[in-house]
Amino acid sequence: MGEPVCSHVKPLKLDAGTLIVEVDEPAWATQMKFLEADLLKRLNVGGAMPVERLEIRVKRKR
């Protein structure tokens, strides 16, 4: 992913093929769902652990 995406999306955990990421705004959750198929392809090229699914969480503001 590029710098703009990385500044809004934080990987939290890889658990049983599910990559859990946190986004800072709901709009980024929508964007990540749009990019999910492409992102999964990129993550699975040469990766040691297959990523089958993306779980997106919106960070709560304090």
Could you report the per-residue pLDDT of 16-62, keeping only the tens digit for each? Answer: 999 999 999 999 999 999 999 999 998 898 777 889 999 999 998 77
pLDDT of residue 1: 62
pLDDT computed for residue 37 by the predictor? 94
Which residue blocks in 1-62 are alpha helix, DSSP H? Answer: 3-6, 26-43
pLDDT at 56: 96
State the pTM of this model. 0.83
CB 19 within 8 A of CB 47: no
47/62 Cα distance (integer angstroms)? 35
